[in-house]
Amino acid sequence: MLNHTSAFMYDGFVYSGVLIRMSSILSMNVKRLGQILKEGAEGQVGESGLRLEGASRTYWPLLSNLLISDFRHDRSYETAQDIFKKPSARFAAIDGSMDQNLLGGLAVFWAGAYAATGSITYMKDQSPAVTYDTHFVEKGHGLASCVPIYIDSIPEVEPQSAYNGSGNQAISSPFTDQSTVDNSTIANWIMLFSELYLAFTMAKTKEFQIILLDRSLSGTQSSLLHDTSKRALWKRECATLRITSDGLRLDEQDLAFSRYRTPDSDGLLPPRGDYLRHSAMFLMEQLETTISVDELADRLNIKSEPMRVEKLGRYLTRAANEGKYFLEVDGKFSLMPNLLTAWDRTQGMVEYIGQRFFASNVGNPLQITDGRESRWLTTLDLAFLCLFTLNMLIETCRLNKVLLIGITKDTTARDMITHLIPVCVERHIWDGSMEQVATTDRMLLQALSMFHHDQVQVPWATVEYDTSFQTIVGRFNDVKGDISGAVKNRIIQEQLFVKSYIQLDKAKSDDQFRSNVLFIDRLYHPSENAPTLVLKHEYGGAVEEVKPVLWQTASSKNRIQELMMVTLKAMTHESIPEIFGHNEPLYIADKIAKAQRSNASQMIKGMGHWLISHPKLRKYSFYMNTFRSRRSEIENARNRT
């Protein structure tokens, strides 16, 4: 505390003891805030702990039957032999990084994705052996792109951003050049595109049998479908629709056709809900001939349900009358001729722009020139490119039998507590409580593992279940069937991804000290023939069947999950604290990506210095800089001297 008691004079007035009083007031405020913080934190942590302890007791009788700890090396060895045709597999772990800088009035966005690769060899009587490829600089796999764009052009790339160039900004929080760059999502989109495109190119080579991504596969797909759902924006904001080069020309119907390009082994989607139209389109694509509604319903296995057949007929007739997707002649329907090549042209567009971003040295990768006209790709274009690349990755992994796994570290998902368990208890699939708790799946499972550490052996995993349960809830009171959709009564595609929660490690000295629970989702392969439920769902005036995948008990045979768990356990490393219970290949990929980001950042800063010192550009770059940035540079230079 300051203790100056002498009086002093200023402007004719005498001040005495002012510093003491001010210091006392500040000290009292600090003391009061500290007391509030201490008591509030103790109360919240204590209350949360008691709530989790109570929830773990409530859910233990049910969840104890859903936790799997018996993962055997000999069975995993046989599964690897069956799937990979040998007792070893090549793996690739992919992670990305990004950076964005403002050089005067020039924004520079950098993003890339890099892979840590290696081999895993399975053994009958011990843990698999994991080896990593070396000489990354010479032989490594990676993609990166850099986009320089003047600050005034950012609204053209992000038309839906808060800063739209119209000048309509909030008086309380006006945008500066730096805040415009900081709030931009351009680098995020390029990073996602690079990760998915790198995964696709590596899956296509057939060299790698296991691909790991540091993100949720189902979450990424759902987000991309949402980001591309506003059809009213397509024509206005998609620059890819204006490319007229042969083999790359796309229209709105092509985009709609390819958005849901995630068919099963028969090339179809579930003939229900929003997928019914696409299932009909994909079937007509295979047939390449006209077909009646009854014949189509028979091939989609819904002919025995008149309401679903009527719904299909309404969809086809309305679309044909509107000139979309289908042609109708004498009561029979066929796919429009241009849609027979839509998916090939969509893949060609992805490959073309992927090469521009990650392999070409000509021009700005975000700027497309077609003929004489130059256009910026928008973030909506990038969202479509990411979605189509993910669809291509799914198709390639299923074709080449690649095990595609997404690993999410700190998830806040609650679908197991709020969706899966209530639906299964209500349908008498499981016996247990449907009590709702104010926590996440991850926190509940971590607490359950800690409080019942003597009964839960590490590593463990929950039974795998369909990611469509994320949108399935109990039946609403005013509808027919067994279930309803959580949002607008919609249920996402089943038998595409399956998910589980896992815990891989614990401390040797303290059995209760365990690693974080991870959220895992992986691509489901139809050849697995997993157990499914048949649930009735009323949507669009018809009661339809939803068939999600669910391994109902810990004793259910799931060879792929066992192989995955043995693989992920072998890829942990106890001597590295940062990856305690996580994945070493993804950790290595993250370090590679961050090292490349550091190199790119230094290069971008060097470009800024070059712009300032260039004789011909110096006078322009002076006015490109804002007043704040120039003042900051001068102040920093003065402080250094």
**Domain CATH code at residue 283:** 1.10.10
**Cα–Cα distance for residue pair 381/174, rounded to 1 Å:** 28
CA distances from 607 to 102, 104, 108, 378, 600 (A): 11, 11, 10, 25, 11
Quick check: 51 pLDDT over 80?
no
Two tokens at 170? 């909030």
- The SS3 call for residue 320 is helix
| Residue that the structure tokens 């006078």 belong to | 619
| Other residues' Cβ atoms within 10 Å of the Cβ of residue 627 | 7
Would you place residue 171 in the very low, low, confident or very high pLDDT band (cuts 50, 70, 90)? Answer: very low
- The SS3 call for residue 460 is strand
What average pLDDT does range 76-84 have in this prediction?
A: 95
Two tokens at 4? 């100056």
Which residue range forms the structural domain that includes residue 305?
Answer: 252-345
| pLDDT for res 635 | 72
488 belongs to a structural domain: yes
Looking at the structure, do residues 514 and 427 belong to the same domain, yes or no? Answer: yes
| Other residues' Cβ atoms within 10 Å of the Cβ of residue 428 | 7
| pLDDT for res 194 | 97
Would you place residue 8 in the very low, low, confident or very high pLDDT band (cuts 50, 70, 90)? Answer: low
Looking at the structure, do residues 523 and 447 belong to the same domain, yes or no? Answer: yes
| Other residues' Cβ atoms within 10 Å of the Cβ of residue 89 | 22
Beta bridge partners of 149: 107
183 belongs to a structural domain: yes
Looking at the structure, do residues 510 and 607 belong to the same domain, yes or no? Answer: no
| Other residues' Cβ atoms within 10 Å of the Cβ of residue 143 | 22
Looking at the structure, do residues 534 and 469 belong to the same domain, yes or no? Answer: yes
Looking at the structure, do residues 545 and 423 belong to the same domain, yes or no? Answer: yes
Two tokens at 370? 């077609």
Would you place residue 174 in the very low, low, confident or very high pLDDT band (cuts 50, 70, 90)? Answer: low
Q: Are 3 and 20 in contact (CB under 8 A)?
A: yes
Looking at the structure, do residues 73 and 200 belong to the same domain, yes or no? Answer: yes
**Cα–Cα distance for residue pair 529/46, rounded to 1 Å:** 46
Q: Which pLDDT tens digit goes with each residue over 405-449?
A: 999 988 889 999 999 999 999 999 998 776 777 788 999 999 999
Among 483, 498, 486, which residue's Cα sits nearest to residue 546?
483
Looking at the structure, do residues 134 and 109 belong to the same domain, yes or no? Answer: yes
Domain-ending residue, one of 523, 558, 593 = 558
- Our count of domains for the chain comes to 4
- Name the amino acid, one letter, at 388: F
Would you place residue 190 in the very low, low, confident or very high pLDDT band (cuts 50, 70, 90)? Answer: very high
- Name the amino acid, one letter, at 319: A
Q: What percent of the chain has pLDDT over 70?
A: 88
Helix (H), strand (E) counts: the chain:
21, 22
170 belongs to a structural domain: no
Q: What percent of the chain has pLDDT over 90?
A: 61
| pLDDT for res 170 | 45
| pLDDT for res 1 | 44
Q: Length of the chain in residues, anyone?
A: 641
Looking at the structure, do residues 110 and 32 belong to the same domain, yes or no? Answer: no
Quick check: 96 pLDDT over 90?
yes
**Cα–Cα distance for residue pair 543/165, rounded to 1 Å:** 48
> Which has more pLDDT, 177 or 586?
586
Least confident window among 109-113, 152-156, 620-624: 620-624
Helices marked H in 520-617: 559-570, 584-613
Give the chain's mean pLDDT: 87
Q: Which pLDDT tens digit goes with each residue over 492-541?
A: 999 999 999 999 999 888 888 999 999 999 999 998 989 999 999 999 88
| pLDDT for res 629 | 62
Two tokens at 534? 């048949």
Quick check: 165 pLDDT over 90?
no
What average pLDDT does range 574-587 have in this prediction?
A: 90
| pLDDT for res 177 | 74
What average pLDDT does range 198-216 have in this prediction?
A: 96
3 belongs to a structural domain: no
Would you place residue 38 in the very low, low, confident or very high pLDDT band (cuts 50, 70, 90)? Answer: confident
DSSP letter at 555 equals T
Beta bridge partners of 99: 110
| Other residues' Cβ atoms within 10 Å of the Cβ of residue 40 | 10
Would you place residue 240 in the very low, low, confident or very high pLDDT band (cuts 50, 70, 90)? Answer: confident
Looking at the structure, do residues 553 and 587 belong to the same domain, yes or no? Answer: no
> Which has more pLDDT, 163 or 588?
588
Domain-ending residue, one of 329, 345, 361 = 345
Looking at the structure, do residues 290 and 329 belong to the same domain, yes or no? Answer: yes
Quick check: 246 pLDDT over 80?
no
Buried residues in 296-317 as b, exposed as e (16+ CB within 10 A)? bbebbebbebeebbebbbebbe
Two tokens at 390? 């993910």
Quick check: 370 pLDDT over 80?
no
| pLDDT for res 26 | 74
DSSP letter at 579 equals G
Two tokens at 575? 């001597």
Helix (H) / strand (E) containing 102: strand 88-103
Quick check: 167 pLDDT over 50?
no
Domain-ending residue, one of 542, 558, 574 = 558
| pLDDT for res 375 | 86
Would you place residue 369 in the very low, low, confident or very high pLDDT band (cuts 50, 70, 90)? Answer: confident
| pLDDT for res 410 | 84
Among 368, 384, 388, which residue's Cα sits nearest to residue 376?
368
387 belongs to a structural domain: no
572 belongs to a structural domain: no
378 belongs to a structural domain: no
Least confident window among 18-22, 241-245, 302-306, 373-377: 18-22
What average pLDDT does range 202-217 have in this prediction?
A: 96
591 belongs to a structural domain: yes
Looking at the structure, do residues 404 and 323 belong to the same domain, yes or no? Answer: no
Looking at the structure, do residues 193 and 264 belong to the same domain, yes or no? Answer: no
